[in-house]
């Protein structure tokens, strides 16, 4: 495993990305290393600094999130 | 079933496994060649592109666009890219880029028209889209011998090589997707392999073996052996090597912008054709309006 606390997402990258399911902006969750789509209730993983914006690979958000 | 022949998850898994394998870089020579070709075309356009989106362009395009103000390199897998995505569900905001380059990245897409529309929407007005697709001549030798070998053995044959759009379909797709000044051209190239096994190994190493939907009957080893035997018998050169045909179709399209040339509306001509040709105008005997 890489030390994820040091990886940070390029803000310019976040600007051009949308949720592939809802086509809405994404929120960067730095602690969990996820990109969160509030509209689709999905969290997309960031693996070794690379966002994986594939619906089948996303985690469904729990009721508390 | 043919509406959605491909299983994107299956293809992604294969691609990911292949990318981790030892022969991947070598086997990707076609991809690199396609990327080089698109770069040459770009040079001829003489226009700087500040915001570049490379889809499946790999290391070659990463190097080429290192000087761009913003370059995003995406692929189906994380390895070697800035973003992993599914081209059928493009996670890119509208008008985010002014150049999109996709060498052989859209091969296993079910809804190619849909993917093209999404790509067009990601372009700013007057942005350029350049892509390479495999054309229908691709792997025609393999297609023939696999069908034959399978039909011999089982009395039936399944689709084993992906169907590819031809040149006219490809150009039509661009137009349907709303690109301005759409153009498509093709190049057929023959790669020589030491034997048909090498070809199969290469396809596997590239992660380009068929990724069809559903419970595909696996090819039995016997059928594969027979197909390769037929391949050798039928296509081998005198030196024993075998050809494999690849057809590369290059697509060019622009996001519409008012500065682009457009055809004039019919009937809007301001000069007579006869004057331009320097000949007297002759009636064809037909009248445009019925006489009163």
Q: In terms of CA atoms, which chain A residue is nearest residue B53?
A: A16
Give the pLDDT of residue B2.
45
B185 Cβ neighbours under 8 A, 6+ residues apart: B167, B249, B250
Helices B167-176, B112-121: axis angle to 10 degrees equals: 50
Residue B6 pLDDT level (bands cut at 50, 70, 90): low
Query: CB of B88 within 8 A of CB of B94?
Result: no
Domain tally, chain B: 1
CA distance B91 to chain A (A): 4
| Sign of the CA dihedral with B23 first, then B24, B30, and B36 last | negative
Chain-chain contact of A50 with B97 (C-beta, under 8 angstroms): no
In chain A, whose CA is at the least distance from the CA of B69? A12
Q: Give the number of C-alpha atoms closer than 13 A to the C-alpha of residue B121, restricted to the C-beta side.
A: 16
Rounded to 5 degrees, φ, ψ at B110 are -70, -45
What CATH architecture is A4-60? Single Sheet (2.20)
In chain B, what is the greatest distance between 2 CA atoms, to the nearest angstrom? 82
Of the given ranges (B37-41, B105-109, B134-138, B191-195), which has the lowest mean pLDDT?
A: B105-109
Q: What is the mean pLDDT of chain B?
A: 85
Distance in angstroms (rounded) separating the CA atoms of residues B87 and B73? 13
* pLDDT tens for each residue of B212-270: 555 556 677 888 889 899 999 999 999 999 999 999 999 999 999 988 887 777 778 78
Q: In chain B, whose CA is at the least distance from the CA of A52?
A: B84
Question: In whole angstroms, what separates CA B165 from the centre of its chain?
Answer: 8
The Cα A61–Cα A53 span in angstroms is: 15
Q: With bands split at pLDDT 50, 70 and 90, how would you rate the model's confidence at B274?
A: confident
CA distance B105 to A43: 25
pTM value is 0.83
Quote the DSSP letter at residue B69.
S
Tokens coding B128:
């350029």
What ipTM does the predicted assembly reach?
A: 0.91
- Nearest CB among B78, B82, B86 relative to A20 is that of B86
Q: Which of B1-5, B216-220, B272-276 has the highest mean pLDDT?
A: B272-276
Whether the CB-CB separation of B75 and A53 falls below 8 Å is answered with no
What pLDDT is recorded for position B24?
62
* Nearest-10 Cα torsion for B24, B29, B34, B40: 120
Q: Is residue B41 a part of any domain in this protein?
A: yes
Domain membership of residue B282 (yes or no) is: no
Helix intervals (H) in chain A = 11-16
Q: Which of B7, B11, B75, B84 to mutate to test the interface with A (most CBs of A within 10 A)?
A: B84
Residue-level pLDDT at B155: 63
Whether B270 maps to a domain, the answer reads: no
User: pLDDT tens for residues B156-195?
Assistant: 666 666 678 899 999 999 999 999 999 999 999 999 999 9
CATH code at position B118: 3.40.50.150
Work out the pLDDT band at B66, boundaries 50, 70, 90: very high
Q: Looking at per-residue confidence, does B271 or B113 come out higher?
A: B113
DSSP B288: S
More confident residue, B148 or B163: B148
Whether the Cβ atoms of residue B37 and residue B19 lie closer than 8 Å to each other: no
Query: Poorest-confidence range of A25-39, A43-57, B93-107, B197-211?
Result: B197-211
- Residue B292 resides in a domain: no
Render pLDDT for A3-40 as a digit per residue (tens, 0 to 9): 444 468 899 999 999 999 999 999 999 999 999 999 99
pLDDT at A46 over 50: yes
pLDDT at residue A1, as a whole number: 45
Asked if residue B283 belongs to a domain, the reply is no
| Alpha helix positions (H), B24-73 | 24-27, 29-45, 58-64
Instruction: Enumerate the H helices of B109-179 as residue ranges.
Output: 112-121, 140-154, 167-176
């Amino acid at each position: 495993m890489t030390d994820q606390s040091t990886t940070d997402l390029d803000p310019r990258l976040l600007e051009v990305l949308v949720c592939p399911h809802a086509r809405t902006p994404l929120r960067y969750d730095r602690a969990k290393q996820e990109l969160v789509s509030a509209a689709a209730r999905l969290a997309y993983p960031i693996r070794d600094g690379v966002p994986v914006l594939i619906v089948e690979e996303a985690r469904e958000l729990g009721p508390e999130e | 079933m043919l509406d959605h022949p491909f299983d994107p998850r299956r293809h992604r898994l294969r691609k990911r496994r292949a990318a981790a394998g030892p022969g991947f870089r070598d086997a990707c020579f076609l991809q690199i060649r396609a990327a080089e070709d698109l770069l040459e075309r770009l040079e001829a356009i003489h226009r700087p592109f500040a915001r570049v989106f490379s889809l499946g362009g790999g290391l070659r395009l990463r190097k080429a666009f290192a000087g761009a103000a913003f370059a995003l390199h995406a692929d189906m897998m994380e390895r070697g890219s800035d973003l992993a995505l599914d081209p059928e569900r493009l996670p890119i905001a509208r008008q985010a880029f002014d150049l999109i380059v996709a060498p052989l990245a859209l091969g296993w897409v079910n809804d190619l028209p849909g993917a093209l529309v999404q790509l067009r929407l990601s372009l700013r007005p007057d942005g350029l889209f350049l892509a390479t697709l495999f054309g229908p001549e691709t792997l025609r030798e393999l297609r023939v011998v696999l069908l034959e070998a399978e039909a011999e053995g089982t009395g039936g044959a399944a689709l084993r090589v992906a169907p590819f759009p031809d040149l006219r379909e490809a150009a039509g797709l661009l137009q349907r997707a709303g690109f301005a000044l759409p153009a498509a051209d093709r190049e057929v190239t023959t790669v020589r392999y030491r034997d048909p096994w090498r070809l199969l190994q290469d396809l596997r190493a590239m992660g380009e073996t068929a990724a069809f939907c559903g419970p595909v009957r696996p090819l039995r080893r016997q059928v594969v052996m027979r197909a390769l035997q037929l391949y050798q018998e039928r296509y081998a050169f005198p030196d024993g090597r075998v050809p494999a045909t690849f057809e590369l179709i290059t697509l060019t399209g622009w996001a519409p912008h008012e500065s682009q040339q457009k055809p004039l509306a019919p009937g809007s001509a301001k000069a007579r054709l006869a004057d331009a040709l320097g000949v007297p105008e002759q009636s064809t005997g037909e009248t445009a309006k019925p006489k009163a």
